[in-house]
Amino acid sequence: MTMKEKFIAPSILSADFASLGEEVDNVLASGADIVHFDVMDNHYVPNLTIGPLVCEALRKHGVTAPIDVHLMIKPVDRIVPDFASAGASYITFHPEASEHVDRTLQLIASEGCKAGLVFNPATPLDVLEHVIDKIDMVLLMSVNPGFGGQSFLPSALDKLRKARKLIDESGRDIRLEIDGGVKVDNIGEIHAAGADTFVAGSAIFGAARDQDPNRYDTVISAMRNALAESPS
């Protein structure tokens, strides 16, 4: 198993939006690597969240870390250029939400972003084998998307192992991201199954400590320690 540098990706939906710029500054200063955006349209999933304006606002605020945009919307193609111009680094989408997966991947790349596919718990990885040459990120959902605070589904571990095998066999530089129920207690096991990028929302933003220099130092450090102790 070929493992990349381990990235922690706080999901900003769990942050305090009244002071979002400061929240993102603090979580990055605490040692996080990527800012994760969950974009929901109240159509593809039963919730409504944030759009390109928030991404653009964070860039204007001074955030330079990669921004990882997970689109839970349908149709997909219309909104891709908006997020690209707003400063997205990665744009991932669900194959079920695209009329033409290959074309959407090409569109994301043509807009200057890294492209990825997202697989729900019940979605097989079959399509990945056919477009892996156009992929920069694979995101596996370890909960059913739409709402935060759900528990990690253990079935995601086997799926991670399968995805890791496909990625390693491809020889390509592809990140394997996991989203849903990730916390200090299970991040090591998730890493051992093959993930290298870890989305966490409430587990990070719900663990703020005023005693920490950057509010999230303790929880990010605990995640780093758990990852360091995990077999790779």
By CB atoms closer than 10 A (0-12, 13-18, 19+), residue 15 is buried
**Is the separation of the CB atoms in 179 and 147 below 8 Å?**
no
Residue 169's DSSP bridge partners are none
Catalytic member of 25, 38, 41, 136: 38
Catalytic member of 25, 41, 179, 217: 179
179 is catalytic: yes
In this structure, are strands 67-72 and 175-179 parallel, antiparallel, or unpaired? unpaired
Opening angle at CA 36, ends 34 and 41, nearest 5: 160
126 is catalytic: no
By CB atoms closer than 10 A (0-12, 13-18, 19+), residue 46 is exposed
Residues designated as active site: 38, 179
